[in-house]
């Protein structure tokens, strides 16, 4: 099942067709794409009998983030070994670094992004998890039952601000306008042969710069949900950026940053792709 935010309305989609959930359900479910996660189990049962092939064609440019206003947005650092190495850190043992990207930075999958003036803007393709049930002290073995679905995310990061001062500024440096694109839609875990092994990649102007597999996550999705929910309660619709594989600009020799006119395409096989075009202010 694929769930999309189309012009701000909750939809079920197939390749090129969309069904408006509010209309098709006889107004049983609201049109707000974020509100559905509070009734996720009920929604899934209803949605299973919807024929998306009978929907209407849509324009991918109208897609928004599948979880546009989460109560909490978590981002995980240092979660692939080769990325830990290129970033010059030591491997986390019991808990990876957890920070937030502020929700005002969330956008849909196809956008133009203004580069912060004088900054070094970097790319980080990531698997993104959206939570489907309240989760508190969830055992790893049950964690996938708490996942509404998966989507593609870009954890865009301005490295000068991130590295400035006495301690890293992850939250602000990764929260400039447009720095958290997500999409193109949410795919439910049952759609994958193995949701713990997804292939992700990103390219700049057609040149591949990152390529990895989520089977190499140091803390896989079940471990992340278990560890986060050990500390606090996860709410339906919460978002978790799970970390990026190697190949970011920071870790290159020479270092490389996104520039005016660059097009960044971020993809996960079985989900889809994001497309960001960068402009100087």
Which residues of the shown chain bind Zn ion in the complex (CB under 5 A)?
124, 155, 244
CA angle 167, 170, 176 (to 5 degrees): 135
* Burial environment of residue 53 by CB neighbours within 10 A (0 to 12, 13 to 18, 19 or more): exposed
Closest approach, Cβ 121 to Zn ion, in A, equals 13
Contact 220, 211 (CB under 8 A): no
Closest approach, Cβ 65 to Zn ion, in A, equals 16
For Zn ion, which is the closer residue by CB, 9 or 83? 83
What is the Cα–Cα distance from 9 to 170, expressed in whole angstroms? 31
- 181 contacts: CB under 8 Å, gap ≥ 6: 65, 106, 107, 108, 109, 111, 113, 153, 154, 156, 266, 274, 276
- With residue 109 as reference, give the H or E element that holds it: none
Closest approach, Cβ 83 to Zn ion, in A, equals 9
For Zn ion, which is the closer residue by CB, 43 or 170? 170
Name which of 41, 42, 106, 69 is nearest 237 in CA terms: 69
For Zn ion, which is the closer residue by CB, 151 or 244? 244
Q: Please state the φ and ψ torsions of residue 124, each to the nearest 5 degrees.
A: -150, 95
Closest approach, Cβ 243 to Zn ion, in A, equals 6
For Zn ion, which is the closer residue by CB, 124 or 238? 124
For Zn ion, which is the closer residue by CB, 31 or 180? 180
Name which of 271, 269, 268 is nearest 244 in CA terms: 268
Closest approach, Cβ 4 to Zn ion, in A, equals 24
Closest approach, Cβ 129 to Zn ion, in A, equals 13
Comparing every residue's Cβ against Zn ion, the nearest one is 155
For Zn ion, which is the closer residue by CB, 212 or 236? 212
Q: Please state the φ and ψ torsions of residue 129, each to the nearest 5 degrees.
A: -105, 135
For Zn ion, which is the closer residue by CB, 11 or 127? 127
Closest approach, Cβ 244 to Zn ion, in A, equals 5
């Amino acid at each position: 099942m694929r769930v999309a935010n189309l012009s701000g309305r909750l939809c079920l989609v197939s390749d090129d067709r969309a069904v408006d959930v509010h209309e098709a359900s006889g107004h049983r479910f609201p049109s707000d794409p974020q509100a559905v996660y509070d009734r996720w189990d009920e929604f899934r049962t209803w949605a299973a009998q919807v024929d998306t092939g009978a929907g209407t064609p849509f324009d991918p440019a109208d897609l928004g983030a599948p979880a546009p206003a989460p109560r909490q947005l978590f981002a995980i650092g240092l979660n692939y070994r080769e990325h830990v190495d290129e970033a010059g850190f030591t491997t986390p043992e019991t808990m990876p670094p957890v920070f937030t990207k502020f929700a005002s930075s969330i956008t849909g999958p196809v956008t133009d992004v203004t580069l912060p003036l004088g900054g070094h803007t970097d790319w980080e393709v990531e698997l993104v998890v959206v939570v489907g049930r309240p989760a508190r002290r969830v055992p790893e073995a049950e964690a996938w039952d708490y996942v509404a679905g998966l989507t593609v995310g870009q954890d865009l990061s301005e490295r000068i601000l991130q590295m400035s001062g006495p301690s890293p500024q992850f939250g602000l440096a990764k929260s400039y306008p447009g720095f958290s694109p997500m999409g193109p839609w949410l795919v439910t875990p049952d759609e994958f042969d193995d949701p713990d092994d997804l292939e992700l990649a990103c390219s700049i102007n057609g040149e591949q710069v990152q390529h990895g597999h989520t089977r190499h996550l140091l803390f896989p999705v079940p471990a992340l949900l278990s560890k986060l929910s050990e500390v606090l309660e996860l709410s339906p619709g919460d978002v978790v950026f799970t970390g990026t594989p190697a190949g970011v600009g920071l870790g290159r020799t020479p270092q490389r940053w996104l520039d005016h006119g660059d097009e960044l395409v971020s993809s996960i096989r079985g989900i889809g792709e994001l497309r960001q075009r960068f402009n100087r202010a």
